[in-house]
Amino acid sequence: MSTELILSLTSLLAIGLGYAIPLIFASMGELVVEKSGVLNLGVEGMMIVGAVTAFSVTVDTGSVWLGLLAGGIAGTLISVIFAVLAIHLLTRQVPTGLALTIFGLGLSGYLGKDLVGKTVPDSIVYPVPILKEIPILGDSLFTQTLPGYLAIIIGLVVVYVLAKTRIGLIVRAVGESPEVAHSIGFSVRKTRYAATLFGGLMAGLGGGYIALIQQKFWVENMTAGIGWIALILVVFSSWKPFRLILGAIFFGIISGLSFYMQAKNYPINPNLLNSMPFIASMVVLCITSANSKRSSANAPASLGQSYHS
Amino acid sequence: MKMRLYKLVKTAAALATVAVLGGAVQAEDSVNIGFVYVGPVGDGGWTFAHDNGRQEMIKNLKADGIEAKTTVIESVPEGPEAERVIRELSVKGNSIIFTTSFGYMDPTFKVARTQPKTTFFHATGFKNAPNMGTYEPRTYQGAYLAGVMAGHMSKSKKLGFVASIPIPEVIRNINAYTLGAQSVDPSITTQIVWIGDWFNPAKEKQAAEAMIAEGADVLLQNTDSPAVLKAAQDNGVMAFGWDSDMTAYGPKAHLASAVIQWGGFYTDAVKSVLDGKFDNANVWDGVKEGMIDIISYNKDLLSEEAIAAAEAAKAKMMAGERIVFVGPIQNKAGEEVVAAGVSLDDDALHGLSWLVKGIDGSLPE
C-alpha cells in the first residue's frame, strides 16, 4: 500500500472512532437493559442530562474525571424515574421512555443556561506503547484519552459478563422468560432495576464523554440524536455485545466516510454520501435478518413487556 | 413518532407560556413585543444572537424613555404550530412581533392578514403584507472579511468550509469566503463539505477533521455550533466564529468572529412603528448598517497585515462600496459569470446558485 493510502485510512479510522466512543457507552448500557427485557427509549434524554451535569461539574472543579463520574451518576438518577414508572408502577415502556427523553432535553436546557460559552480543560491523549506502532489501526485505536479506553474496556467487560458469568445468565434469563426466572427464585424486579440503572449510568457516561472530550463545550441539544443511534445499534447488532462494539465503530466510520470522501473530492453527490449511514444500516439489517429464525431468536423474548410478580 | 410527540409537547409549552406572559396590560409609554425563536437561546449561535439583540433593544428603548415588555417563545417548530404561537402572541396584546426563522414566513403572513393592528417583522423571508416587513443580514460580508484574513494566514493555501444546506444564503457565504481569500492570493482554494444539517456538533466536528486531514488550515462554517472551531483548536489549525462571538470556545484557534448584531435593527424597527413611520420594505442590512461585523481579532495569531486588510475591506463596506461580488468572477468550470467591473445586484445575489472558481467540492443537486 502507498504511504498516502495508509495515512488516509488512519485518519478515517480516527475520525470514525471519535464518533463511536460515546455510542459504545450508551448502546452497551441499553443492550444490558434490553437483555433484561426492558426497552428504555430514554437514552437520548439520559445522555443529555449526563452531558450537562458532567460539563457543569468539570467547569466548577476543573477535573474531567469528577465531571464524567457526575455525568454517570446523573444518568443513573434519571433512569431511576424510568425504573420506578415502568418496572414498579408498570407503565408502558415505550411512552415512558419517550417522555424521559423529552424531560431530559428540557431539564438539560434549563440546567445549562449559564454554561453556554464556557470551556473545560483538554484531556490528555495516552498512546499505548507498542500497540500504537501497528500500521493503520495503531494510530487511531490506541491513541485515545483514558475515558476513551474506559469505553472499550467496559464494553469488553460487558461482553464477558453477559456471556460467561452467573450475573449475565440471570439478566438473560429474566429477559427471555421472567416467569421462569421468577419461579426459580430470581427477582425479576431487582434484576430489571439493576439493568436499567446500569443503562442510565452508561448513557450518562456517554453524554459526559460528548461534552467533556469529544466537543469540550456545552450547547443545548448537543447530543443531536446520538441516543437514538445507540438504540438503533442494539437492534443492528442483533443484541450481540461484541458485534455492538464493532457496529459502533462501523457506524462512526460510515458517518465520517461521507465527509471524508467529500474532502477528497470524489465526484459523488454529497446528498448520496450523507445518506450512506442509512443505506448501510438497511443493508446490514437485511443481511442479519435474512435468516428470520436466527435474528428473531436473538431479541430477548420479553422485550418491552411489563412483568407483574 | 419521536419528533411528533416532541413537537406537540413543545408547542403546548409554548402556548402555555404565551397565555401566562402575554396578557400584560399596556401602559402609555410601554410597548409589548413578541419574539418567536426557532432554537433555544442556549444554542450559542443563531438564536443566541437574536436574544442578545432583543436585550440590547430593551436597553436602547429604555434610554429613550420607552419601556419594552418582551415575550419570548423559544424552540417553536417551523410549520402550522408556529401559526398558533404567533396568533396567540398577537391576540394577547403584543403590538410588534418578530419571527426569527425562514420557516415562519407563511405562518407570519397568514396571521398578519387577519391581525391588521399588529406589526410583524419576519427574518430572512421574502413575503410582505401592509403590516409585515422582512429583515435579513448580509452574512456574506462577514464571510468575505473572514476570507481576507484567511488569505493572509493560510500556509497550505487551502481553506475549509463546513456547509449546511445548499440554499443561496449558504452558497453566497462559501463564495464570499473564497473571494475574500483570493483577493489576497488568487491561487487559494476552498474545500467544502456538506453535512446536511444546521446543527449537529458530532457531524460538524467530523467534517472539519476530514478537511484538516486533507490539508485545510483555516476553516469557516455555516453551521450553528462551535464544534468546527473546537476541532480546529484540537488539531492545531485556525478557524472563525460564526453568528455569535465564539472566542471562548477555542482561544488558540480563533482568528475572529463574523457576527450578526440584531440590536440596532430591533430598536429602529420598534421606533418606526411607534412613530407611525413603518414601511414594509425588505431590509437587507450589512456592515454599513451595523448588522454584520467582524469582531474579537486574535492579535496573537493574526498578522498586522491581515488585520489591516480586513479593516480596509470593512471600511469600504462601511462607505457603502460593493466589493464582494465584483467581476471578473469565474464559476467553478472557469466560465466568466460576472464581467470585469460589473457588480452583482441584490436580485442576482438572492438567487445565487453557482460556485466560484477555486472551490473544491460540488453542490448537492
* pLDDT tens per residue across span B195-244: 988 888 999 999 999 999 999 999 999 998 899 999 999 999 999 999 98
- Closest residue in B to A123 (Cα) is B234
Residue B135, pLDDT above cutoff 90: yes
Show residues of chain B in contact with A144, CB under 8 Å. none
Residues of B in contact with A118 (CB under 8 A): 248
Mean pLDDT value across residues A25-30: 96
Q: pLDDT tens across B142-157, in order? A: 999 999 999 999 999 9
A220 touches chain B (CB under 8 A): yes
Q: Are B209 and A15 inside 8 Å of each other by CB?
A: yes
| B180 in the same domain as B106 | no
Tell whether A4 is within 8 A of chain B (Cβ).
no
The rounded mean pLDDT for chain A is: 89
**B156 shares its domain with B119:** no
Tell me if B270 is assigned to some domain: no
B213/A226 touch (CB, cutoff 8 Å), yes or no:
no
Q: Is residue B198 part of a domain?
A: yes
Domain boundary among B137, B160, B177: B137
Same domain, B209 and B65: no
**One domain, residues B130 and B153:** no
Q: What is the pLDDT of residue B24?
A: 43
Q: Three-class SS of residue B349?
A: helix
User: Looking at the predicted structure, is the pLDDT value of residue B259 above 80?
Assistant: yes
* CATH assignment at residue B236: 3.40.50.2300
Task: Clarify whether residues B217 and B114 are in a common domain.
Answer: no
pLDDT confidence of residue B11: 55
**Orientation angle between helical segments A188-209 and A146-164, nearest 10 degrees:** 160
Contact B230 A216 (CB under 8 A): yes
**CB of B126 within 8 A of CB of B282?**
yes
The parent domain of residue B86 ranges over: 2-19+28-137
Q: Residue B14, Cα to own-chain centre: how many angstroms?
A: 24
Is residue B15 predicted with pLDDT exceeding 60?
no
B156 and B300 in a common domain: yes
**Chain B residues lying within 8 Å of A122, measured CB to CB:** 234
State whether residue A47 sits within 8 Å of chain B by CB.
no
Say how many domains are in chain B. 2
pLDDT for A172 beyond 80: yes
Second-level CATH architecture of A3-120+131-298: Orthogonal Bundle (1.10)
Q: What is the C-alpha to C-alpha distance for residues A137 and A235, in angstroms, rounded to an integer?
A: 27
- Put simply, whether A92 touches B (Cβ < 8 Å) is no
Closest chain A C-alpha to B140 CA, distance in angstroms: 23
Q: Are residues B233 and B345 in the same domain?
A: yes
Question: Is B271 contained in some domain?
Answer: no
**Which comes out higher in pLDDT, residue B246 or B199?**
B246
Per the CB < 8 A criterion, the answer to whether B42 and A112 are in contact is yes
Whats the size of chain A, residue-wise?
A: 309
Which residue does chain B place closest to A41, by CA atoms?
Answer: B2
**What is the nearest CA distance from A88 to chain B, expressed in angstroms?**
24
Residues B355 and B247 in one domain: yes
In a domain, B274, yes or no: no
Q: Are residues B240 and B167 in the same domain?
A: yes
A219/B44 CB distance under 8 A: yes
Q: Does A221 touch chain B (CB under 8 A)?
A: yes
The chain A residue lying nearest B192, using CA atoms, is A263
pLDDT at A295: 62
Interface of A with B in 227-286 (CB under 8 A): 228, 255-256, 259-260, 262-265, 267, 269-271, 274
A222 touches B at CB < 8 Å: yes
Top residue of B174, B203, B259, B360 to mutate, by most chain A CBs within 10 Å, is B203
pLDDT at B19 over 70: no
Looking at chain B, which residue has its C-alpha nearest residue A270?
B364
| Residues B166, B73 share a domain | no
- Which residue type is seen at A218? W
pLDDT at B8: 53
Nearest residue in A to B212, CA atom:
A263
pLDDT of residue B181: 97
B203 lies in a domain? yes
More confident residue, A2 or B273: B273
User: Hey, which residues does B326 pair with through a beta bridge?
Assistant: B343
Give the residue-averaged pLDDT of A94-120.
Answer: 91
Written as nine digits, the cell of B187 is 491561487
Question: What is the Cα–Cα distance from B71 to B231, expressed in whole angstroms?
Answer: 36
Residue B278 belongs to some domain of the structure: no
Residues of A with CB below 8 A from B193's CB?
A: 259, 262-263, 270
Residues B203 and B333 in one domain: yes
**Residues B87-110: what's their mean pLDDT?**
95
CB contact under 8 A, B44 and A215: no
